[in-house]
Amino acid sequence: MTKVIAMAGKGGTGKTTTSALLTRYLLDKKQTPLLLVDADANANLNELLGLDVNLTLGQIRKELKSELPPNITRDQFMEMKIHQALIEESGFDLLVMGQPDGPGCYCAANQYLAMTMDKLAENYKYIIVDNEAGMEHLSRMNLRTVDYLLVTSDPSARGILTAKRISDITGPLGLEVKNQYLLVNRAPQPVPPALQEKIDEAVTDSGMELGGIIPSSDALINQELSGESYLNLDVSADVIVTVNEMFDRIFS
């Protein structure tokens, strides 16, 4: 059965970084094939993986508004285009949502995406969804069950509070979330007592478990500045050792 891993959290908390590191982890563990969905309108997961994007769902949506080729239905056209938009790599594929049809809405394209995702999902062991600040994309893609919700936060009281609120809204969105984890990124070491207190409160007051606390990493900063793929990070780098141990606990 395909398992869905969704990232959530306010902007700038490291959702995309976590998605890239998780991709590396699952590839190393031979847990493939993977489908990565960059559902953030400000798409940059491809950059952390060293990949170029030539076609997004947003661009396909624009094509749907124009005249279609003869002898093809809209469903067939959308399915064909989504397959063209898939960036195929060894062990994983990447689909980029791109810009929406208006403020937060993909409109008519959503139903075609949902139908296509039903067929796509059967081909993958894991689907990793790198969401924007909200989680509406999960319903747009017809992914009503989330096996692992990884809620990211920066090391701030507001970030921790936002993470808790995100955890609280999964019910009203009609999502079945089997496992929820709080991940705190770029945390100072040692963790200040005041921050640890906020983390403990959020975990106690929500349905989340503490997945892990990830320290700031010069290795990640240097890798991004150089434009090198996170998949090529040295396995002995402190941040890789830390996140691999964290993912071992979560996905064991």
Q: Is residue 170 within 8 Å of 177, Cβ to Cβ?
A: yes
Beta strands, E only, the chain: 3-8, 34-39, 87-89, 92-96, 126-131, 145-146, 148-153, 176-177, 180-187, 209-215
Segment 7-38, tens digit of pLDDT: 988 888 999 999 999 999 999 999 999 999 99
Choose between 199 and 40: higher pLDDT.
Answer: 199
Average pLDDT over the chain, rounded to whole?
A: 87
Per-residue pLDDT for 41 more than 90?
A: no
Q: Is residue 168 within 8 Å of 28, Cβ to Cβ?
A: no
Instruction: Give the model's pLDDT for residue 42.
Output: 76
Domain encompassing residue 226? 3-251
Tokens of 95: 């689909």
Nearest to 181 by CA among 212, 157, 226, 216: 212
Instruction: Give the model's pLDDT for residue 104.
Output: 46
Q: Is residue 211 within 8 Å of 246, Cβ to Cβ?
A: yes
Residues 210-231, mean pLDDT to the nearest whole number: 94
Nearest to 197 by CA among 239, 155, 165: 155
Count of structural domains within the chain: 1
CATH of the domain at 209: 3.40.50.300
Most confident stretch, 89-93, 103-107, 185-189 = 89-93
Helices 109-121, 57-64: crossing angle, 10 deg rounding: 130
Instruction: Give the model's pLDDT for residue 77.
Output: 85
